[in-house]
Amino acid sequence: MIVPLTPLDFGRRAFRHYPDKPAVVDGTFRATYREFAARVYRFASRLEQEGLRPGDRVAVLAPNSHQLLEAFYAVPWMGGVLVPLNTRLAAQDYAYILEHSGSRWLFVDRELLPAVADVVGSLERVMVFGGVPADQDPYETWLAGGDPTPRPYVVADENDLITLNYTSGTTARPKGVMLTHRNTFLNATDVLLHLGLRRGERYLHALPMFHVNGWGGVWAVTGVGGVHVISRRADGPVLWDLIHTHRIDAMCGAPVVLNAMANTPHRPPEVPLRLFTGGAPPPAALVERFFREGIAVVHVYGLTETGPWATISEPLTEAEEPDLAERSRRMSYQGIEQLMVGQVQVHRPDGTEVAWNGEGLGEIAVRGNTVMAGYYRQPEETDKAIRGGWFYTGDLAVVHPDGSIQIRDRAKDVIISGGENISSIEVEDVLYRHPAVLEAAVIAVPHERWGETPKAIVVLKPGHTATAEELIAFCRERLAHFKCPTSVDFVEALPHTASGKIQKFQLREPYWRGYSERVRG
């Protein structure tokens, strides 16, 4: 007997077996699994009543909210494909994505309605929600007309699409990553296994749910009857308040979120907290700081195209590595492949695997169960990314003797100065150790003699001071001199994507203006 794999089965199980357990906490909104299920069934039935059919696209533009969580179940429950939209895009990006995806409907948070005001006329239906009391919310009125009777989900084939996730479009038009029921079921299972979620635990949605489906957390938490505690904003004071108020067991967030938390006055959590981070290698100094507070930081790695989780840096015990600083440093490694992914290797240009010696540089490649079905309506881009049965990530890495992968840089972020390859990540890690540095990004800038040279862009902690000369000297004490920044600029803030990655292309732009090529090493 073969039953299609789908993360919706996590919902089916929880709705059946945990009806009276708490399911959702979103501000003043509360729902048990019985109430959550009824809202999902009503939502799905209303979509059908108004003519949406299996395969139809339904877009949602919203920050973390119970309405967005409901859409992750209701739209695919009736066989539709959810298109979760990044809340930080420009109006022209929304216009492109809605047209390119073929979305028929758009659900939009009232706060974000101005961002799509110019394109709503091209859609069959736009439903605005939030921002007003429930008895005045058109979404609630619309939902009340649905049928709350339990209904089976519609999944004809596990390889059918469940979500269409558009990349942030930092260097070109956003690409639609096609994720299937099978992809997302196996990724959500990895989240359950590696995050160690247990029945009834409380999970804090600090990571945007629209970002690769909250890394799978939107479904994984439900699978064990956990509590979805939803945070609309990911700033330090808000997160610490929720962590203490709701006695949070686990959460995920990019290093920029961890940095904000670390630099917010707080007391350590009363409940042991598991904090998974990804999107960029976490600075060792940041990891060590949380370790000292009894918070277990774990580094995971992946891309939208890999579903997203691909690897995990499994924590070393104190017996395996007594030195806390070394354990923290090792947590910046991307680690080894997760259980459900398939294979993750580092390849030379000829497609062979690099030696496990911590020196041979290659590109991370993934093949297996969580890799996307391809880019929607972009077969040429799909063929560029998937070659010889492997998805090539664009991340350059080495493999250590124990099999742990460590990224040296994105291919486009490696600095080549005087013929020497310099990892911007390595230099940033040193800068983060300086007591005055809040955030740092290292980029290549033109240099008459060396072609290009490292420049540090730095945000200082409030109340702290440092000079460019001081930071350069700090790096020269800890790195080979050719790797060190030759200049430092201080800024109020760094540009980030919604997932917390620093947008280095924006930082590079002013320094390379007027040059025909962006690499001169």
Q: Where are the domains of the chain?
A: 343-410, 415-512
Taking the C-alpha atoms of residue 413 and residue 416, their distance in angstroms, rounded to an integer, is 9
The 10s digit of each residue's pLDDT in 214-240 is 999 999 999 999 999 999 999 999 999
- Given a cut of 60, whether residue 45 has pLDDT beyond it is yes
E strand or H helix at 293: none
Per-residue three-class SS string for 325-377: HHHHHHCCCCEEECCCCEEEEEECCCCCECCCCCCCCEEEEEEECCCCCEECC
pLDDT for the residue numbered 388: 96
- What class is the 343-410 domain? mainly beta
pLDDT for the residue numbered 41: 98
E strand or H helix at 141: helix 138-144
- Given a cut of 50, whether residue 519 has pLDDT beyond it is no
Mean pLDDT of 114-119: 92
Structure confidence at residue 520 as a pLDDT band (50, 70, 90): very low
- Given a cut of 80, whether residue 378 has pLDDT beyond it is yes
pLDDT for the residue numbered 419: 64
**Using an 8 Å Cβ cutoff, are 251 and 225 in contact?**
no
% residues pLDDT > 70 (the chain): 97
pLDDT for the residue numbered 287: 94
Mean pLDDT of 327-347: 95
The 10s digit of each residue's pLDDT in 407-450 is 987 777 878 787 677 888 889 999 999 999 999 999 999 987 77
pLDDT for the residue numbered 499: 67
Q: How does DSSP assign 95-109, residue by residue?
A: HHHHHHHTEEEEEEE
Nearest to 388 by CA among 360, 335, 349, 354: 349
Tokens 């939009």, residue located: 108
For residue 385, give the amino acid letter: A
Structure confidence at residue 374 as a pLDDT band (50, 70, 90): very high
β-bridge partners, 347? 353, 363
pLDDT for the residue numbered 512: 85
**Fold for domain 415-512?**
GMP Synthetase; Chain A, domain 3 (3.30.300)
Q: pTM of the full predicted structure? A: 0.86
Nearest to 87 by CA among 445, 419, 497, 444: 497
Nearest to 309 by CA among 261, 257, 262, 369: 369
Q: How does DSSP assign 144-175, residue by residue?
A: HTS--S------S-TTSEEEEEE---SSSS--
The 10s digit of each residue's pLDDT in 268-309 is 999 999 999 998 788 888 999 999 999 999 999 999 999 999
Q: Who's near 492: CB < 8 A, 6+ residues apart?
A: 459
Strands 250-253 and 386-387: unpaired
8-17 vs 66-77: helix axis angle to the nearest 10? 110
- Given a cut of 80, whether residue 372 has pLDDT beyond it is yes
pLDDT for the residue numbered 521: 42
Q: Identify the weakest region by mean pLDDT among 23-27, 89-93, 517-521.
A: 517-521
**Using an 8 Å Cβ cutoff, are 182 and 5 in contact?**
yes
Enter the tokens of residue 512: 């390379």
- Given a cut of 60, whether residue 517 has pLDDT beyond it is no
Structure confidence at residue 242 as a pLDDT band (50, 70, 90): very high
